[in-house]
Structure 1
């Protein structure tokens, strides 16, 4: 019954149609009117200048010309991806605006090829704001929050029309090939419209260092952004786990692997998060209670998903959710009854033990047969101490070598039992605990969720906060960062990032397409900074770095802007 309902919901979503594969789409109207006064001082025509990656430019307000530049200069390590924005704004409507790029060249004939340069039109999505308590949790009615259009998604379309008295930001990324010789590389961007080119090109240069940033697959940073294959099936109109579904998922998961993702999100029960997402997580393992009382477990979907993710380059860890779902409901098919049934049981009770012991036993057998046991964690999030202790006791009674992961509050009692322990921001292990865990190679990470007003990755959060998180992880000696979620999309994620619960953008970092976002690109910047810090410390530069790192305290954001902190810290990185 439950599985039939899930299938019906998916088919209904497919029938409704989506915009995931459209070459273009319409943004929602801005709730605010165009301010004619703001545009009255703008010279008639179409203009383009470099801006800042720290700014979400308003769509209908002319940018402050004093903050714009005709050229851009930056520094990069070999293998690093760097970025900025340039801003097109116009007093008249212009059609078919496109971006032409060319190789970046040094004086010796070396080049960064144009294939390593990616411009993308930034799109506007509806967002909201923090609640009256300064957080992002709790049920939301749109009328209770100030909503506005905000720049975030980075589109994949080759050309766009711009209305009169509108702003069109463009994200510019350059990935420096690892083998690029050190030097100064110069090039330009040209902007073309239906009526011709804008008169002045946008010139820029990148000074490439001798230093080399490792490739994402070799990054030590433990990035754990939770994935939803179910959302992709809905948005791309595909049958779950079909060839078309996996084909649709491939570019998303490749983009995630290129960000340094380490963990595969799996759901070993139906609906581990009590339907908190727009798309319910199904069970990747089918549970069947046979007529004789024994259990049969079908791992077909689990194996397909894990194998696929490993092919994408994500293979360090498998997180299997969850032995302690938020509603404590466990669905299974009962042969004797001829239908799906549900058991409600608390950890530590006989019913819970009887339900989970056969599964844990068979799951260990299956994982060992696939060679995955040592990288799999029985995963829980934000569960009470007593529940965790009861579950761990059961898990270890089945196999003492089972690994467990938890994202949640700090509990001293669990520090030596949890392999992958991720603490909510603002919490920490003791110095001795963290050193002991890291010496054992146990991931000891930090996460943000709807609770934190800042730093965070909402669609209205300052972009630099996404990069700030990587610096904070380095400063606190965390081994990485976790965020829910990579792509738990809302009903219409391209147009409206708001959700019935939690602040806008809390549920996803990338858009259907796949389309990246300002938030996701800045997060990658923070991960790269973490890796550069690691390389520099190994080269004996730790003392200089500590002066900068000690400033990355959460409370510092009450007085300082994340952008100012990150920019100052990056200047130090580039100097060392």
Structure 2
């Protein structure tokens, strides 16, 4: 079994799914469906390809490749090309279409070299994409879908099926600009070896980090059916997960489940035993997680840990005081969830009022399902976290109220649609001027904690079991394709922010009519205009049509080519203004 090496972003990841999760039990009567629009027709195969036993091809990583996917002739290539700024991870993919059963296939990468410097092969990781049955919402149907990225020494590829390989290149911070060349070698035990060229173009761009909180809902517990007695995750697993979030650009965590706590009362007040939280909070400090949002009663946090029958606000203050006394990351308070849409608004506002009275200086976060409800949490909520129904109205309304504008969910595809994940974390966040971006959830099965790798849990629910971007294993977290796309979106946001700052600085130095600044601003606006943030449509009766998320409507209007152009255009204008 391979072990992850190289940069921390590779070292923290797991290798493969557990043995007992390598196949998914299909419930009786469930039907497999095929994704529409897949090319399943092979081009005419050359004599060389036939003798080799396979055809290699490459698609942009945002295009899905299924076991039944066939290449077009134009996609068959012997070179992979990547462009990157220094101190960044970039993605390429190659796929192998087997013309006969292939055994023990290995795919390896060489160093990348230029005239003066080499990027060691340890900075290149090759993972294989595991396709798994993914349930179709509310139906006893499923599609075998690209889901997880595994690190394997070798694998078999059955005849007339396609196996995708996911190549991640890390460009170290001080890497000089220029072209770096290397190779990817495909070596089946019972076939001919093929070597593809890989070319990395390092652009002379120094990206700046925008002041936008990027984060995830996450757990710091072992999920189990005995919810009142949850135990903290082992420290090594916590460390790997927090590092994984950090190297993917995250600095904020929303705790959706915390470990069971106890509290005592004496002459000095109420005190929580914070030892179950200490490993998590200390590791957050260590890896650079700067903000933690804690929900105080979604899971009856205070009632469960309040044997003293004290007021809600008194217990919140005791917890906050104990947290702050340890110098842990900045704590943000929340209570309830989606109260504008589920009938709990009065209860939620009462909780916010007590928190504000007990801890006047703490920021209060709330979730808002519908943009038209943005004002119902006034005057108590400092941070408005909007749902996937968010549109362009949230920006001006929240800014006028002098509140912070966040979102707490994107397209909710749980790692299975990279376009939406990348758009949300990057250009969508920039266009709506978001100050924070979250997603539910880093990892958590929806239905059965004991079957985290089975999406087809047949327990009467309409929901799939997968509702996460990462799957934990004993060797570390296994990423989904969408989790990697999120990091690309956060990188897009850095490009956008860098260009915006350079435009501002150029005008401060040369005047508001500076030509290069005007050109860059026009190009940026044109990119923004391609992202549809308009209000969701209405039904014939005039009511809002909630059948599809606003952000999902925008996602469906974009293609992988948009994101290729986005990076190229932004890099070009950054270099002009630097």
Distance 1:196 1:558, change over 3 A: closer
Residue matched to 1:371? 327
Residue 74 of structure 1, CA deviation:
3.0
Selected match of 2:303 from 306, 330, 346 = 330
1:305 is the counterpart of 2:285: no
Residue 394 of structure 1, CA deviation:
0.7
Distance 2:465 2:202 in 1: 34
Distance 2:457 2:491 in 1: 29
Selected match of 2:361 from 401, 410, 420 = 401
Q: Is the 8 A contact 2:91 2:167 kept in 1?
A: yes
Distance 1:50 1:75, change over 3 A: same
Residue 369 of structure 1, CA deviation:
1.4
Unmatched 5+ stretches in structure 1: 1-18, 131-139, 268-280, 336-350, 450-454
1:230 is the counterpart of 2:221: yes
Distance 1:117 1:478, change over 3 A: same
Distance 1:88 1:415, change over 3 A: farther
Residue matched to 2:539? none
Alpha-carbon displacement from aligned partner over 1:433-478 (angstroms, at most 9, x marks no partner): 32774xxxx65212336xxxxx4424553x2121111211111111
1:529 is the counterpart of 2:525: no
Distance 2:306 2:397 in 1: 47
Q: Is the 8 A contact 1:62 1:89 kept in 2?
A: yes
Distance 1:160 1:81 in 2: 25
Number of residue-to-residue matches in the alignment: 491
Selected match of 2:167 from 142, 158, 172 = 172
Residue matched to 1:286? 262
Residue matched to 1:484? 440
Residue matched to 2:117? 110
Q: What is the 5 A alignment of 1:194-273? A: 194-195=189-190, 198=193, 200-214=194-208, 220-231=211-222, 240-241=231-232, 245-266=234-255
The TM-score, its normalising length taken from structure 1, stands at 0.76
Distance 1:530 1:367 in 2: 32
Residue matched to 1:548? 527
Distance 1:551 1:301 in 2: 47
1:433 is the counterpart of 2:372: no
> For 1:285, what is the secondary structure of its paired residue?
coil
Q: What is the 5 A alignment of 1:120-159? A: 120-130=127-137, 140=138, 144-159=139-154
Selected match of 2:405 from 439, 444, 461 = 444
Residue matched to 1:12? none
Distance 1:145 1:443, change over 3 A: farther
Residue matched to 1:466? 421
> For 1:301, what is the secondary structure of its paired residue?
coil
Distance 2:456 2:136 in 1: 11
Residue 415 of structure 1, CA deviation:
5.5
Selected match of 2:566 from 557, 564, 569 = 569
Alpha-carbon displacement from aligned partner over 1:13-53 (angstroms, at most 9, x marks no partner): xxxxxx977479624489469x9984695564122222221
Q: Is the 8 A contact 1:178 1:212 kept in 2?
A: no
Distance 1:211 1:328 in 2: 47
Residue 76 of structure 1, CA deviation:
1.4
- RMSD over equivalenced CA pairs, Å: 3.5
Alpha-carbon displacement from aligned partner over 1:63-117 (angstroms, at most 9, x marks no partner): 33443432222321112221121001102222221112111112x2222221111
Distance 1:227 1:303, change over 3 A: same
Distance 1:211 1:362, change over 3 A: same
Distance 2:317 2:240 in 1: 35
Distance 2:150 2:82 in 1: 23
Residue 56 of structure 1, CA deviation:
1.7
Residue 432 of structure 1, CA deviation:
6.1
Larger RCO (CA within 8 A; separation ≥ 6): 1
1:509 is the counterpart of 2:469: yes
1:186 is the counterpart of 2:177: no
Q: Is the 8 A contact 1:266 1:302 kept in 2?
A: no
> For 1:83, what is the secondary structure of its paired residue?
strand
Distance 1:65 1:519 in 2: 27
Distance 1:484 1:424, change over 3 A: same
Q: Is the 8 A contact 1:406 1:421 kept in 2?
A: yes
